[in-house]
Amino acid sequence: MATRIPLLTFLAVIMLVLAPSSLIWAESPGKVVVQTIDEGLAILNDPALRSPEKMPERRQKLWDAVKGVFSFEETAKRALGRHWNGRTPQEQQEFTETFKNILKNIYLDKSDSYAQESIVYISEMVEGERGKVNTYFLTSDSKQIDVVFSMKILGGEWRIYDVIVEGVSIVGNYRSQFNSILSNSTFAELMDKLKEKESEVVKLGK
């Protein structure tokens, strides 16, 4: 025993020194996506959570299961693009929170009408600290919907910052909208619009 512990420590130190980045410890992005979605689908398929009065509970469970794998800050940053840097930290934070809340409520609202969908993993691509995971969803009426997850290693773990559905990126879609709005309005006016949308979609969840 006495010799084993120093040996392990030695190995750990060597690995830390040799590791080029946090890459070694991060799992493959495809695994992270599949695991998260399987967890989410397990909640959606749970017969105990299917009745209408259970919907708020199901949403909460679903949110708790998947929120950790998304990086909403990264999503918000990219959606705002070149306009992000000119903003104060408070503005950035307020923007991120509002944007996150909008996305959260829209997608949780969709989960209520979930009907026996399944996900099929196709492939993953990794380049440095970024990766893409190609999948498709099979709906109950056997429509195939191509979904790509864009991911990045943040804090040593693979996190999703964008979802591309049938070629349409969520980040890109919002970026186009924000660019258009900011080309003839102020940031404060954009925030007003976001707040308005936020209150609109929060109502959906009730």
Partner 1 sequence: MVKHLKMRAWLLICILFVSVLWSPTLFAQDTTTGIGFMADKDTDWENDDEYTLEVSDPYEKWNRKVFNFNHKVYKYVFTPLSKGYDFIVPKKLQGGFNNVFTNLRMPVRFFNNVFQGKFKRASIEFARFMINTTAGIGGFFNPGEYALKAKMYDEDFGQTLSRHGFSEGSFFMWPIIGPSNRRDTIGTIIDMAFDPLFWFGTLDVVLDEDILFGISAGKRVNNYTYNIRDNYDDLMESAIDPYIALQHAYINNRNKNIKE
Query: Which residues are at the interface with partner 1 (CB under 8 A)?
Result: 74, 77-78, 81-82, 84-85, 102-103, 106, 110, 125, 127-130, 132, 141-142, 144, 146, 150, 166-169, 171-178, 180-181, 190, 193-194, 197, 201, 204
For residue 180, the minimal CB distance to partner 1 (Å) is 5
For residue 149, the minimal CB distance to partner 1 (Å) is 13
* Beta carbon nearer to partner 1, 39 or 117: 117
* Beta carbon nearer to partner 1, 50 or 203: 203
Please count the CA atoms within 13 angstroms of the CA of 95 that sit on its side-chain side.
26
* Beta carbon nearer to partner 1, 41 or 126: 126
For residue 4, the minimal CB distance to partner 1 (Å) is 40
Cβ-based neighbour number of residue 51 at 10 Å: 10
* Beta carbon nearer to partner 1, 54 or 203: 203
For residue 128, the minimal CB distance to partner 1 (Å) is 6
CA dihedral 168, 111, 203, 79 (to 10 degrees): -30
Alpha helices in 67-166 (DSSP H): 72-80, 89-111
* Beta carbon nearer to partner 1, 90 or 113: 113
For residue 8, the minimal CB distance to partner 1 (Å) is 34
Taking Cα atoms as reference points, which of 146, 117, 114 lies closest to residue 133? 146
Spatial distance between the Cα atoms of 76 and 96, rounded to a whole number of angstroms: 5
For the CA atoms of the chain, what is the radius of gyration?
20
Q: Maximum Cα–Cα distance for the chain, whole Å? A: 70
Spatial distance between the Cα atoms of 167 and 65, rounded to a whole number of angstroms: 26
* Beta carbon nearer to partner 1, 4 or 206: 206
For residue 12, the minimal CB distance to partner 1 (Å) is 28
Letter for the amino acid at 134?
A: N
Q: Token pair of 92, please?
A: 């950035």
